[in-house]
Chain A
Amino acid sequence: MFNFEITALGNMFFGLTVLVFVSLFFVPNKHRSVTLYSLLFASLACIFYASDLITLFIGWEIMGWSSYFLIAKTADKQTLQKYIVFNIGGAFTLLGAIILIYGACGSFVYSELDFSAVPSGQVTAITILLLLTLFVKSGIMPFHYWVVDSYSQSNDLFSAVLSAIISKTGVFAFILIFFQIITVQYLQTPILEVVAWLGVLTSIIATFKAINEDEAKRLLAYSSIAQVGYIVTILSIMGSLSLEAALYHTVIHTFVKLLLFINVAAIIYVSKQHRFSTLGGLLYKYPLNFILLVVGIISLAGMPPLGGFSSKFLIYTALLEEHKGLLLAAVLFSSASAFLYCYKLVYGIYLGQPTNPKTEAYPRIPLRFYVPQILGAVILITLGTIPGVIVPMFNGILGSVGFEPVLYRGVFVLGSDFASFNGGVVIGAFGLIFVLILLFFVRLKNRSVKPKDRLDISYCGEVPRADVNLHYGYGMGRELSRIGLIKMILSRSSHALWQRVSTLFGDLSGITQKLYTLSAQNMGLVIFAFFTILLYMGVK
């Protein structure tokens, strides 16, 4: 039944899980359910350390339903329905794939699975089923419908878990199954090609949805979809360097999302506001939170000098090395667009004029909110400075799944023969420039005029009413929808489709339910008619 094996890959993911759970333990939370969180934790351990497919599946399902109960307290009916249909559906496709693998190879244990004698059609079927499962968990298009609602409606702490860890189980399973179990020589190249493009498309669409989003947690949810999209794209290249890039990005994204979700959670906790249009101007109120947020979004956008750059650098290098020019262009496009929503987090919450008159009365952020954030920030800064430090760990994983290790040239240098950079130098240069600009602004600060209250903008020649939203970022990004392609992306919504499917099943259910209210007389008629039909068929 339960078979476990300690592997380098499992260690990495489990390590991330432990860090996230431990740091989240400090965060105050209304809906704390120790049982469910422990179940979730156990199920994650079960997934990461499983040594056969059944154990993996058991973990997968327990993760699914324990998350469900954690979300169910705060989410609405439709969100929950989506969650169940997609996640249980995803789990059932996993079970279907496992059963297919069993039918083909006669075993569930990883090490006993041999696909050399399996017809390629069957391998393709297995691949597609598995991909469905992973796409659902990671929210790859077109299976991302459930993600945003569930992330944004679950309680703030659990959103972080969903984004930081649970979306990564899809990545884990991808690596485990396609790198280690089925292995690349039995996979169909066209499928991988499709996967790569699905990943990129997902990230582009999610990026634009995020730009247009007014709710902080929904923005982060879309961003999460986009980032996991990159990971899936780079994984589908199936090379040594690309695997390293994917692992690197996984680590970075875990901590970025942990940091950002808790950062936003802290703001929501003190202000009770979820939307950018009701936030703003909190910079001087919560400066520490602001600095941590900046660390997070610099990493999220993949800008130097922080950890996000290291992983993005590897992604670009891997794509270039494999001559995937178009893919690279798409990734760059999406990555560049990501600046827009990243910046929204900064100005929407911290800069500009405060929209809410009660801003002054907001309480202090409890210190416990800083524990996961500081953990994330420290790791991100470290990985920016000494990006090579976790390469040996990744090499261990690469070795365990049978790939050649990538070049390791000390803690400061990251990259391959093709291209590399020195994190120490980069951060040093950036640090220098940063300090210079900071000094400049510090000098400038004494000369600036301090407004009396939020409506005091008389020097602009205007006296606004109290209900006017004065935030300069208000409505920013709206003009994006004038661009045809982006407008199309933004106007698409899964809502109508979902509604239609739901109604269809409801109607069908109504019809069949009617059958079950037949009177005894009609029931008798049905029985005799059925008998007569079968008899007639048999006699003929």
Chain B
Amino acid sequence: MSLVYFIAIPILASFLTPFYKNYLRFVSVLVNILLAGFAAFFYSRLPLNEFISLDSPLSIIFILDYVSFFFVSLFIGVMLFFSLYSIKEKNNTAVFVVTNIFTSGALGLILSADIFNIYIFFEIASISAYILTGLNRDKVAYSGAIKYMIVGAVASIFLLLGIMLMYLNLGYLTLSSIGAGFHTMDKGIQYLVLLSLFIGFGIKTEILPLNFWVADIYQATPTKIAALFSAVLSKAYLFVFFHILYTLKVDAPALLFLTAIGLLSFAVAELSALRSKDVKRIFAYSTLGQLGVLFLALSSANVVVVSGALFLILVHSISKLMLFFSLDLVEKKMHSTRVEAFAGFRSAFLFTIFAIGFLSLLGIPPFAGFIAKLTILKGFASMGAYGIVGAILAISLVEATYFFRLLSANQRSKKTAEIKVPLLQKIMLSLLALAILYLGLFPQGLLDFCTDAAQTLIQGVIHV
């Protein structure tokens, strides 16, 4: 068994599309089940390294340790869910061609421990995202896709600059070797490398001064695809950024700077959502806010906080998947994602789903988001950073205001349309809601795993 199958098989499935053009959706489900099987196979063998090509100095290493396993299984789960959820969409082959490659791009980002290889997967994931943005094939979608592409290209430039400088100075591409040699480099170059990586990944992880493009992109993207961006894509970039950062053993002031940026980004995003008139945009802002929290939590270099952040990543992915998919159903019926349209639908089932999703995002018990938030706050308390605790809670209050406003808008207004949720969708959305409730009530097993994963992440990739 080789880790490279995680990458190769989805791409293979997409390449061979002409042979089963109308059945690609089934193939996608099969591929994702197969990948889930691989993940299960590797679970008992953690942690493991694999040399994809053997000969140094240009060898490529894949690493599957606790933290990358966490992300790999999360992404496979999300993609499997996505493909099962859309299994009835006959005329949408293009989506599956791209999402398969998207899967392998995201998985490659997680698995690869080679900095140029990471760049390649960065591009694969990004380009699939540009295409997915344009899938609605109207003016808004195309202009969104072009905007995304331009901003993404800028991100790639900076990332490439950073990689180039490291390669030029060290002659290595493997993360572990770079980590060992990073501090022998010239101080100015070190700073420039870190800065370029921060800008490159900062754009992609949607951090404050670099995220002004995001809301428009989410609005242009088909609603279900927006869920993938929120649940998979941004998380993959986030992981890679901190993976590299912890491997390079960045000093404390830099981490503090990232914490501040994360907090600021949380505040501004939640504030923007307060008066937004479009539910999809509100979800986009909420994603930005949560990414801000993740950013500030991941940059803390504290095991408890980071494990809470990992838990939050999982919970946020599930919640956003649920919310965007439900919003898709609303959009199909009401032909709009405006707040008025949201207020006008009648469906007790969807209302419950939305309520659970919102409460979980707000970190309100008994849902899983609470455990994540509690763990993060506990960690900050043990570090003595009470200011951050206070700030997170205060900003969450703003978040609470708009989420509850949405819910009460639906509860109080006149209903114009009844939404009948198809059985398949009903089952799958209920599964997600149950998962959130389950993780909220019995989080211990996952928390333990997250602690192991957090330790691995903070340690960075070790030179062998």
Contact = CB atoms under 8 A, between A and B. Distances in A.
**A–B: direct contact at CB < 8 Å:** yes
Interface of A: 1-2, 54, 57-58, 61-62, 64-65, 68-69, 72-73, 77, 80-81, 84-85, 88-89, 91-93, 95-96, 99-100, 102-103, 505-506, 508-510, 512-513, 515-521, 523-524, 526-528, 530-531, 534-535, 538-539
A68 to B, nearest CB: 7
B378 A505 contact: no
A61 B411 CA distance: 20
Interface string B209-226: 110111110000000000
Contacts of A512: 268, 271-272
Point out which of B192, B203, B364, B386 has the most chain A C-beta atoms below 10 A from its C-beta. Answer: B364
Contacts, number: 154
A80 to B, nearest CB: 5
B274 A505 contact: yes
Of the candidates A91, A102, A516, A538, the one having the most CB atoms from chain B within 10 angstroms of its own CB is A516
Contacts of B216: 516-517
A509 B285 CA distance: 11
Contacts of A520: 146-147, 150-151, 213
Given A510-B275, A517-B215, A530-B209, A99 B268 contact: no
A92 B397 contact: yes
Interface in B202-258: 203, 209-210, 212-216
B390 interface: yes
Interface stretch (B84-92, B175-183, B399-407): B399-407
Nearest to A68: B404
Given A68-B404, A508-B271, A535-B195, A58 B154 contact: no
A103 B272 contact: no
22 contacts: A1-B442, A62-B365, A68-B404, A73-B411, A81-B405, A85-B397, A88-B400, A92-B394, A96-B390, A99-B389, A102-B378, A506-B275, A509-B273, A509-B276, A512-B268, A512-B271, A515-B212, A515-B272, A517-B215, A518-B212, A523-B147, A527-B203
Contacts of B390: 96
B196 to A, nearest CB: 8
A538 B198 CA distance: 13
Nearest to A531: B199
Contact of A530 (B210, B274, B366): B210
B11 to A, nearest CB: 29
B389 A96 contact: yes
Nearest to B190: A538
A516 B214 contact: yes
A535 B158 CA distance: 13
Contacts of B169: none
Given A72-B408, A517-B216, A527 B210 contact: yes
B195 A531 contact: yes
B397 A524 contact: no
B278 to A, nearest CB: 10
Interface in B294-336: none
A-B pairs with lowest CB-CB distance, top 7: A103-B381, A58-B365, A509-B274, A509-B275, A516-B215, A520-B147, A92-B393
Given A99-B378, A100-B381, A84 B404 contact: yes
Given A72-B407, A520-B151, A526-B210, A538 B365 contact: no
Nearest to A104: B381
Contacts of A62: 365-366
Interface in B28-67: none
* Chain B interface mostly: helix
B5 interface: no
A170 to B, nearest CB: 19
Nearest to A539: B188
A526 B275 contact: no
A510 B277 CA distance: 11
B386 A88 contact: no
Interface string B351-369: 0000100010010111000
A262 to B, nearest CB: 25
Nearest to A64: B364
Contacts of A72: 407-408, 411-412
Given A523-B151, A539-B191, 7 more contacts: A73-B411, A77-B405, A513-B275, A516-B215, A520-B147, A527-B203, A534-B195
B80 interface: no
Contacts of A100: 381, 386, 389
B272 A80 contact: no
Contacts of A102: 378, 381-382
B398 interface: yes
A531 B441 CA distance: 44
Contacts of A517: 212, 215-216
A358 B405 CA distance: 39
A65 B401 contact: no
A518 B214 CA distance: 10
B389 A531 contact: no
Contacts of B400: 84-85, 88
Contacts of A68: 404, 408
Given A505-B271, A512-B271, A512-B272, A92 B396 contact: yes
Given A526-B212, A534-B195, A99 B377 contact: yes
Contacts of B370: 58, 61
Contacts of B404: 68, 80, 84, 88
B408 A77 contact: yes
Nearest to B366: A58
